[in-house]
Amino acid sequence: MKPLTEQEIRASFVNCTKGEAKRLSVPHDLADRPWDDLDFFGWRDPQAPDRGYLVAPLADGLRGAALRSTHAPSGQNRRSLCRLCLTAHTGGVSLMVAPKAGKAGKQGDSVGAYICSDLACSLYVRGKKDAGMGSRLPETLTLEEKIERTLGNLTAFFAKITA
């Protein structure tokens, strides 16, 4: 994806207020991120470990979502599947909850999905990051098809957030 600026990132959020988008912590090392290998930009807030963010260049523009991960101390030894990139992790997948956009979100509506805890789906798909033995299901898709699938899953996730 194209490298993002802090301004673009802050302007992309669909499910938080302008004030929240202004205050949330955007990484300072944007220039050093492996943009060529990213299909979306995801990060965890180092100051608030239960918070995560992802920003994706979707067909209708740049879309960002603020997420909260739930602590799941059980199942650390159980393998679970990221719903975006379909990488199987042992203990490396979190239930991320995104408040819905607009009025529904203010009333407490949210959308949850199991997502790689480090939000590094793009790197797992490309084999640049390893989630351990058996983390990739045997499949015949090409890398491009897997990337497309990840983006398709992301589009569906955002559609639920903004529905």
Q: Which of 65, 84, 113, 161 binds Zn ion (CB under 5 A)?
A: 84
Closer residue to Zn ion in complex, CB, 21/88: 88
Structure tokens at 64: 């960002």
Beta strands in 84-130 (DSSP E): 88-90, 93-99, 110-116
Rounded Cα gap, residues 75 and 124, in angstroms: 21
- Closest approach of Cβ 88 to Zn ion, in Å? 10
Q: Which one, 67 or 85, has the nearer CB to Zn ion?
A: 85
Residues 110 to 129 in contact with Zn ion, rule: CB under 5 A: 116, 121
d(CA 36, CA 33): 9
Token duo for residue 109: 């509506």
Cα 9 to Cα 26: distance, rounded to the nearest angstrom: 8
The distance of closest approach from Cβ of residue 58 to Zn ion in the complex, given in angstroms and rounded to an integer, is: 17
Which residue lies nearer to Zn ion by CB, 11 or 95?
Answer: 95
| Residue (121 or 151) nearer to Zn ion, CB | 121
CB of 7 to Zn ion, least distance (A): 27
| Residue 41 and residue 61 in contact, taking contact as beta carbons nearer than 8 Å | no
- Cβ neighbour number for residue 67 with a 10 Å cutoff: 27
Q: Residue 85 corresponds to which amino acid?
A: C
Q: Does 82 bind Zn ion (CB under 5 A)?
A: yes
Task: Say whether residue 161 binds Zn ion (CB under 5 A).
Answer: no
Contact 13, 64 (CB under 8 A): yes
- 121 vs 161, which CB is nearer to Zn ion? 121
CB of 120 to Zn ion, least distance (A): 7
Which range binds Zn ion by CB under 5 A, 58-66, 85-93, 96-104, 127-135? 85-93
- Which residues of the chain form contacts with Zn ion (CB under 5 A)? 82, 84-85, 87, 116, 121
